[in-house]
Amino acid sequence: MLGRDTKSRLNKMYIKGKDPTKAKATPPPFVPKEVWMEFVDMCNSDAFQAVKKNVPNEDGGRADVFIKAHTKADNTYQCPEIIEKLQENMNLYPDSNKIGHDDVLAKTLGKDKKGHMMAMGIDITPSFVANAIHIVEENEDLKATNNELKTMLLNMRKDLDDHIKKKSRKQSDLNREYKLNGCLEGMVAYGIVADVSPDAFCHNKQLGDGYYKIEIFNVINEDALLFRQDSFTKTIGDVGAGSFVAWPKYFIIFTS
């Protein structure tokens, strides 16, 4: 059996403002189809709509409740002067329509008596309302934080997926044979990819992004300049076959 709060939430999420036929075709996963179809019919019935019209707006405050409680069947007011003043204050203080000890009803009729709040029903006290408002505000803060965390998580997941794809592409290049191109010299050597990690070292220096560690097994142009030179090695001939070199991946042509 669905509770009142659950029914209200389902009506807002799946039924209100939607085509009844489409609403019936997409029941929530936890509601049997037969029960759902009856519920959709009930929510769209004239009787249900008539009842909803007489229920105060849940986002409204005590002023809305007070006005409806003092409205006669012919839509005239029992206390027109008070209602008129209340409506003026509602327009004058739009931010004060939320329930509280200094809301628009209190501004119009005076502060509530101890242990009771006007237009709130039996046993509803100012302290109870204050605690409830505090809980609602905390809930709104938690909701905002939750939305921020969701956004952060989605961004982290996207970054992780991009990293995994990028790493997968790099790993697929491992142990592949290649032709090395120089900046101006064209093809300068043959070899194989030994490492693709930016954290890997070649000649005591990290590869970094955009470079692969290459094992050379055949030098074509010994005079071709290295992209990374040091005091001992200036050309690919200085490195020689059987040694390693850091080479920009965009100057590598794979042969396998």
Ordered per-residue pLDDT tens for the chain, 256 residues: 455 556 777 777 888 888 989 889 888 877 788 888 888 888 888 666 654 544 444 445 788 888 888 888 888 888 888 888 888 888 887 766 666 667 888 888 888 777 777 776 666 666 666 666 666 667 777 777 887 888 888 888 887 777 666 655 555 667 776 676 776 667 888 888 888 888 999 988 999 888 999 999 889 889 888 888 888 889 989 989 989 999 888 888 877 6
Q: What SS3 class is residue 111?
A: coil
β-sheet bridge partners, residue 213: 195, 246
Please tell me whether residues 188 and 101 are part of one structural domain. Answer: no
Last residue of a domain, one of 85, 109, 127: 127
Alpha-carbon dihedral sign for residues 109, 115, 118, 120? positive
What's the structural domain count of the chain?
2
Last residue of a domain, one of 64, 95, 127: 127
| Cα–Cα distance, 225 to 247 (Å, whole number) | 11
Please tell me whether residues 184 and 119 are part of one structural domain. Answer: no
| pLDDT for the residue numbered 161 | 72
Please tell me whether residues 10 and 90 are part of one structural domain. Answer: yes
pTM more than 0.75? no
Q: Is residue 139 part of a domain?
A: no
The residues, any chain, with a CB within 8 Å of residue 80's CB and separated by 6 or more, are none
Q: Is residue 171 part of a domain?
A: no
Q: What are residue 179's phi and psi, to 5 degrees?
A: -115, 130
List for the chain the helix, strand, coil content (%; round to 5).
Answer: 45, 15, 40
Q: What SS3 class is residue 66?
A: helix
The Cα-based distances of 155 to 68, 142, 150, 152, 229 in angstroms read: 48, 20, 9, 5, 39
Residue type, 216: I
Q: What SS3 class is residue 198?
A: coil
Please tell me whether residues 97 and 25 are part of one structural domain. Answer: yes
Q: Is residue 132 part of a domain?
A: no
39-71: buried (b, 16+ CB within 10 Å) or exposed (e) per residue? Answer: bbeebbeeeeeeeeeeebeeeebbbbbbbeebe
Q: Is residue 153 part of a domain?
A: no
What range does the domain containing 188 cover? 177-254
